[in-house]
Structure 1
Amino acid sequence: MTPPQTILPSLHLENSAFVEVKVKAKAKKKTDSLSLPPPPSLCLYTNIETDKKKKKLSISSADRVIDKNKKKTKMSSSDKVRASHILIKHQGSRRKASWKDPDGRVISATTRDSAVSQLKSLRDDIVNGKAKFDDIASRFSDCSSAKRGGDLGSFGRGQMQKPFEEATYALKIGEISDMVHTDSGVHIIMRTG
């Protein structure tokens, strides 16, 4: 048996330019299609903690880079605020294991009302000039930011609990909020930037 042969049509010189252009065009189409990112695909996954099924859109890494750039644009420094706060936790607060009084003892019976009255008293001392915000935060706040005088640094929208975020954005720099209730406890907030 003889091996198969590739039979090529004989090309005349006058057609060779046409064939070359056509081959180059096909090669360009293949290169163009190779440089495009793959289309997004839809994945189904299950959250093992909640046992809920969710759909997730998978996108290419090229699209992720674009999304990161959009986030950077959306989260420019003008969209961020800076704040300090004083947090008093109570029985209804989340993360009960972190409840500690200024001496490091675990808080067990602070009610919401007593947290509010304590914070009102501290706020009055600050507003009346009897004490500085950062000193009071260092001494009385139930948050790890107490070590920094209550300073939380800069943050943008969507990074804090909604009531806290709304109160902070509503303040002018240097203003101190009234009581702000979140899942963490009761806060007073001072916008610092």
Structure 2
Amino acid sequence: HTALELQRSEGSRTRSPSSPASAKIESADRKRKRPSSSTISSADPSAAKSGSLRDKHRAKAKMSSSAAGAAAAGSQVRASHILIKHEGSRRKASWKDPEGRVIRSTTRESAVSQLKALREDIVAGKAKFEDLASRFSDCSSAKRGGDLGPFGRGQMQKPFEEATYALKVGEISDIVDTDSGVHIIMRTG
């Protein structure tokens, strides 16, 4: 599991250049330009008014979303983790084992002992958390050194959430069991 990310992609319209009608539409589209707020003439007060209303709505939306973000930030934490999936994990595939062949043959006990060894190396100063997360974690956050970014209550599986909130910044958890597999978590914020 990872922090939720939304991506928007805009579709592009394609026209066949072989048809004369589509050529006319294409040239008409090129000629048509949307007036920017700086080109609205003062002779049309309704246009100026709608532009200023639009600006007011944008500013209001921006303020309310930043206020909501600030309110949520107080109750959010930030963490990195290393996830080792095993035969009992709900989803038996990962970025490094898309077919799930290794995961299906990994027992929970084997995953736990691997995590314990990684945790010992981190605590002893032999390795950095983010380096080991990048190499060993079954979560796609491995490409960010295990960083999940900020999250609030109710966004992660309950055992993961409880363990993270119980940690102080910089502390590393013991083994945490979730439906995804077994984890060690480092609270970073």
Larger radius of gyration between Structure 1 and Structure 2: 1
Q: Any residues of structure 2 matched to 1:8-47 within 5 Å, and which?
A: none
Over the aligned positions, Cα root-mean-square deviation in angstroms equals 2.5
The question of 1:163 aligning with 2:159 is answered: yes
Deviations 1:64-104 (A, max 9, x none): x9xx98x9389521100000000000000011133745x99
Q: TM-score, normalised by structure 1?
A: 0.59
Aligned position for 2:53: none
The question of 1:106 aligning with 2:110 is answered: no
Structure 2, unpaired ranges of 5+: 1-60
Change (3 A) 1:104 1:190: farther
Aligned partner of 1:87 among 46, 70, 83: 83
Aligned position for 2:27: none
The question of 1:173 aligning with 2:166 is answered: no
Aligned position for 1:121: 117
Deviations 1:137-179 (A, max 9, x none): 0000000000000000000000000000000000000000000
Aligned partners of 2:93 and 2:186: how far apart in 1?
Answer: 26
Report the count of equivalent residues: 125
Higher share in strand: 1
Aligned position for 2:139: 143
Change (3 A) 1:110 1:191: same
Deviations 1:106-138 (A, max 9, x none): 313000000000000000000000000000000
Q: TM-score, normalised by structure 2?
A: 0.60
Percent of pairs identical after alignment? 76
Aligned position for 2:127: 131
The question of 1:191 aligning with 2:187 is answered: yes
